[in-house]
């Protein structure tokens, strides 16, 4: 590899969005993850969008096998991974074709020129080579022979030709690190740790990373690097965190604050599997994980752990939650604490396992036989998953009820900086258990919460039975009395409504009356925040209310929802929250729905706003 020194310019930018794209075997998620970790340690605010192909082993070079990783990073607040990107790093023609439509005009394209073979061009449905037919004239194109340069760099290593080619993602990452003034140290240390048992891979990947950086620094084709200042953030200790990681840490924290063991019973399912994987790493924190033979066994084991005095947790996605529904009803009847996590994905049936959606809201609120109310809380971002998980566990324990925590694939796999809270500032979760007195009444209730006063197994004199048949008030005996059934149904519903006494209602963002109120929930938070800011920058008025608890509904919403001419409810489904809003508040709310397996863009929400206002 022959290069020569050139004079390089450096340009300051406030924010940049990059998209890494290629085949599943190109290490795209690894490259994006390493760029993210380095950027977080550098001090930029950021948000990411890993975009996995639906096919696990899609044929290399095909359009449906493209893997993507998008990151927006900035010296100011970042709420989304970006609508369009400034830079596309495409490892083959398919990656270029799939992602080009989202690249900004005059955006930067870095392509692996070696991958633009006749075969790969045909697989990507290109009739001509886009690097030669002037179809990319509106962009800054850097066609780099990444594969051959990587092979040249590793010519003296002991790796096979195939193993050398696998290092090309680190060569491309080195180019990106130079272009955006990122240090190499974090990734070099990661390589040493990851491949410590294989010194030849440590050497090869480190060489490829340094070679990519050196190539961009020395070659004439790259003349400008970009510098993004550190973000001004609240002082504290931060770490980069995904939504699934934050859920795990939130649950462990809740168990510790309650003085309990934590038990997770589950079954692998995309995109919830990482919760089981992450949780299993924390055995030294009184955590037990159980990979059951199916979804039903997973929730059954978790419910048994709750009965025994642990914090029981189970995690799944929509299809798995459907299988758990009978045990969910059992948990409602027995009034045992349980945290049930639904990382939503595209449906129905197997649907789109690697894509995001908000289509399980009605399943969460109503998806059981009989009158079986369950509290439903929704996380709004990866870092917020810590708070949502902690709150879900606190409510489950305080109110002796199963709680459904909703996340989705976008939040679960996405990452952002998280300010680690001081453990001493997190309140204790105090649990009341019945004492040994020989007169234990299983359905005697706490007057403030209507929660059942539980007794730990083995407490002398407190032997009792629990089961799925209707219970007699106080005694817990099986009862078929009509009036008793009506009373118990109402008590269980009233208990859920009392959760509002322990959780805070969201604060309305904007005026309490006006032209347009946007009501949202879950992962749409960041996009709608961006859209609301831009709408206001254009001189228009809009108020915004982002819901955290869907059941029970927040009491303050009724105070102002009727004060607006238009109510807009954007959801990544065909209209689920809006059904609840219309039914509960009798307002003519307008839906905005797209179900593409992708998050909303800021422009989507702005256009929806203008469509109902006519402006």
Q: Residue 551 is part of a domain; what is its CATH number?
A: 3.40.50.920
Q: For residues 587 and 517, is the Cβ–Cβ distance under 8 A?
A: no
One domain, residues 92 and 192: yes
- Confirm whether 554 is domain-assigned: yes
- Confirm whether 291 is domain-assigned: yes
One domain, residues 417 and 542: no
> What pLDDT is recorded for position 438?
77
For residue 257, the tally of other CB atoms under 10 A from its CB is 18
One domain, residues 85 and 184: yes
- Confirm whether 447 is domain-assigned: no
65 alpha carbon, distance to own chain's centre: 22
For residue 73, what is the enclosing H or E element? strand 66-74
> What pLDDT is recorded for position 8?
80
Q: For residues 102 and 72, is the Cβ–Cβ distance under 8 A?
A: no
> What pLDDT is recorded for position 353?
94
Of 209, 227, 245, the position where a domain reaches its end is: 227
One domain, residues 289 and 217: no
Residue 142: CA count within 13 A, CB half-sphere:
22
pLDDT in tens, 324-354: 999 999 999 999 999 999 999 999 999 999 9
- Confirm whether 356 is domain-assigned: yes
Phi/psi-derived region of residue 200, left when phi > 0, alpha when psi is between -120 and 50, beta in every other case: alpha
Cβ contacts of 325-328, under 8 Å, gap ≥ 24: 325/367, 325/368, 325/369, 326/296, 327/296, 327/299, 327/300, 327/303, 328/299, 328/367, 328/368, 328/372, 328/374, 328/402
Q: Going by C-beta distance under 8 Å and a sequence separation of 6 or more, which residues neighbour residue 532?
A: 509, 510, 518, 542, 544
One domain, residues 32 and 107: yes
For residue 287, the tally of other CB atoms under 10 A from its CB is 22
> What pLDDT is recorded for position 105?
95
Tokens 């995001």 sit on residue = 356
- b (16+ CB within 10 A) / e for 126-155: beeebbeeeebeebebbbbebbebbbebbe
One domain, residues 113 and 164: yes
One domain, residues 262 and 405: yes
- Confirm whether 446 is domain-assigned: no
- Confirm whether 348 is domain-assigned: yes
One domain, residues 222 and 260: no
Of 392, 423, 454, the position where a domain reaches its end is: 423
One domain, residues 221 and 179: yes
Tell me the two tokens of residue 526. 């960041």
Check which CATH number belongs to the domain holding 190 and give it.
3.40.920.10
Residues of the chain where predicted confidence (pLDDT) is lower than 50: 1-5
Three-class secondary structure of residue 279 per DSSP: helix
Cis preceding linkage at 271, omega within 30: yes
Domain hosting residue 59, numbered range: 9-227
One domain, residues 539 and 416: no
Of 211, 227, 243, the position where a domain reaches its end is: 227
Check which CATH number belongs to the domain holding 336 and give it.
3.40.50.970
One domain, residues 409 and 271: yes
Number of domains comprising the chain = 3
Q: Which of 250, 232, 184 is nearest to 389 (CA)?
A: 250
One domain, residues 157 and 272: no
pLDDT in tens, 272-309: 999 999 999 999 999 999 999 999 999 999 999 999 99
């Amino acid at each position: 590899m022959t290069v020569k020194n050139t004079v390089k310019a450096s340009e300051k930018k406030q924010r940049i969005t990059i998209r890494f794209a290629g085949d599943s075997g190109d290490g795209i998620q690894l490259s994006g993850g390493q760029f993210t970790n380095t950027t977080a340690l550098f001090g930029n605010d950021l948000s990411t969008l890993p975009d996995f192909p639906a096919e696990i082993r899609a044929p290399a070079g095909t359009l449906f096998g493209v893997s993507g990783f998008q990151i927006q990073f900035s010296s100011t607040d970042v709420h989304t991974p970006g609508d369009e990107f400034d830079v596309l790093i495409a490892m083959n023609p398919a990656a270029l074709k799939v992602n080009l439509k989202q690249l900004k005009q005059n955006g930067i394209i870095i392509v692996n020129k070696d991958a633009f073979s006749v075969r790969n061009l045909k697989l990507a449905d290109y009739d001509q080579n886009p690097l030669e037919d002037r179809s990319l004239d509106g962009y800054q194109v850097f066609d780099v022979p990444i594969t051959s340069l990587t092979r040249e760099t590793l010519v003296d290593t002991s790796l096979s030709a195939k193993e050398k080619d696998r290092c090309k993602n680190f060569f491309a990452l080195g180019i990106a690190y130079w272009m955006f003034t990122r240090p190499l140290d974090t990734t070099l240390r990661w390589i040493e740790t990851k491949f410590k048992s294989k010194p030849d891979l440590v050497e090869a990947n480190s060489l490829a990373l340094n070679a990519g950086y050196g190539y961009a620094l020395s070659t004439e084709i790259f003349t400008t690097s970009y510098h993004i200042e550190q973000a001004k953030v609240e002082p504290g200790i931060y770490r980069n965190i995904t939504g699934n990681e934050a859920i795990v840490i939130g649950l462990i924290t809740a168990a510790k604050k309650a003085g309990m063991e934590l038990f997770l019973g589950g079954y692998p399912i995309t995109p919830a599997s990482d919760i089981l994987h992450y949780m299993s790493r924390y055995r030294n924190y009184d955590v037990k994980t159980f990979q059951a033979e199916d979804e039903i066994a997973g929730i059954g084991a978790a419910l048994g752990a709750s009965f025994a005095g642990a914090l029981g947790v189970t995690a799944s996605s929509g299809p798995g939650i459907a299988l758990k529904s009978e045990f969910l009803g059992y948990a409602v009847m027995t009034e045992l604490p349980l945290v049930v996590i639904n990382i939503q994905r595209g449906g129905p049936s197997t649907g789109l396992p690697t894509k995001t959606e908000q289509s399980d809201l009605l399943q969460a609120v109503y998806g059981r036989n009989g009158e079986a109310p369950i509290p439903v809380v929704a996380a709004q971002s990866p870092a917020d998953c810590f708070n949502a998980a902690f709150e879900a566990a606190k409510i489950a324990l305080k109110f002796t009820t199963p709680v459904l925590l909703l996340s989705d694939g976008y939040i679960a796999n996405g990452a952002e900086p998280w300010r680690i809270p001081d453990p001493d500032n997190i309140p204790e979760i105090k649990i009341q258990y019945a004492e040994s007195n020989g007169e234990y009444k299983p359905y005697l209730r706490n007057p403030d919460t209507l929660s059942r006063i539980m007794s730990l197994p083995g407490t002398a004199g407190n032997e009792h039975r629990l089961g799925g048949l209707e219970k007699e008030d106080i005694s817990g005996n099986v009862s078929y009395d009509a009036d008793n059934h009506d009373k118990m149904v109402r008590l269980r519903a009233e208990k859920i409504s009392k959760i509002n006494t322990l959780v805070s209602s969201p604060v309305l963002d904007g005026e309490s009356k006006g032209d347009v109120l946007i009501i949202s929930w879950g992962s749409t938070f960041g996009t709608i925040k961006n859209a609301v800011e831009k709408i206001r920058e254009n001189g228009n008025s809009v108020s915004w209310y982002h819901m955290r608890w869907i059941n029970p509904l927040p009491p303050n919403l009724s105070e102002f929802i009727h004060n607006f001419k238009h109510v807009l409810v954007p959801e990544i489904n065909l209209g689920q929250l809006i059904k609840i809003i219309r039914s509960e508040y009798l307002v003519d709310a307008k839906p905005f729905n797209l179900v593409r397996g992708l998050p909303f863009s800021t422009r989507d929400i702005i256009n929806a706003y203008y469509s109902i206002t006519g402006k």
